Amino acid sequence: MRPTAQGGFDALLHALGALVNKDFNPIGKAIALQALRCCMQALPLVLSKPDNLAARTQMQLGAYLAGVAIGICKVDAVHAMCTPLEAVVDMAHAEVLAPVFRVVSRYTVQTHAGVYANTARQLNIAGTGNDYRDALALIERVEELARQANISLYLANLQLTEQQAGQLATQALQSASMSLNPRSLSYEEISSLYLQMVN
């Protein structure tokens, strides 16, 4: 189940990253939304009932569509910051993604909640009319799915110095997806976010 849980969570964040980023390709966005819908519906079913063939089929479709979406639209700062961090930790991809998502998404929606809020409404996760609250509901739902997949939202055993965080930030800025994040992130902001992942 571990590969299923981790692969499913990665696919979900592929879809979400392609959907909320600043790329404007309408076909890519439509595919990303359908991928996210499939993943968010199927992943909890697959985790609770691994022999559910229909749920696994939907999860596979979601993962495939998410791959198509990122091929068109790329992703966001979550994956951009994940890649450098994976070079310094002995953890699976999804185990790095979840703590990065927790910090980056919450920082992003402080100023750019709208796209997350619209996604929450399209998926019937929230509909208060308040962008920040609805965006937070989406983030919390993704975090709940991480917990269901037994993926921690914290990097409890990682220690980073400010210098190391700066080195990671330099590498993250080289990712093509970093500039597509809804909220533009500076070197200083990225360094700070890395440090927040371990606190």
**Global pTM exceeds 0.75:** yes
Q: What pLDDT score does 177 carry?
A: 95
Q: Superfamily for 2-196?
A: Dehydroquinate synthase-like - alpha domain (1.20.1090.10)
* Per-residue pLDDT tens over the stretch 87-138: 888 898 999 999 999 999 999 999 999 999 999 999 999 999 999 999 999 9
Q: In the chain, where are the structural domains located? A: 2-196
Whether 198 shows a pLDDT value over 90: the answer reads no
Q: What pLDDT score does 199 carry?
A: 59
Q: What pLDDT score does 4 carry?
A: 87
- What average pLDDT does the chain have? 95
Q: What pLDDT score does 156 carry?
A: 80
* Per-residue pLDDT tens over the stretch 16-51: 999 999 999 999 999 999 999 999 999 999 999 999
* Per-residue pLDDT tens over the stretch 4-13: 889 999 999 9
Long-range contact list for 63-66, CB < 8 A, 24+ apart? 63/7, 63/8, 63/11, 63/14, 63/35, 63/39, 64/35, 65/15, 65/31, 65/32, 65/34, 65/35, 65/38, 66/11, 66/12, 66/14, 66/15, 66/18, 66/32, 66/35, 66/36, 66/39
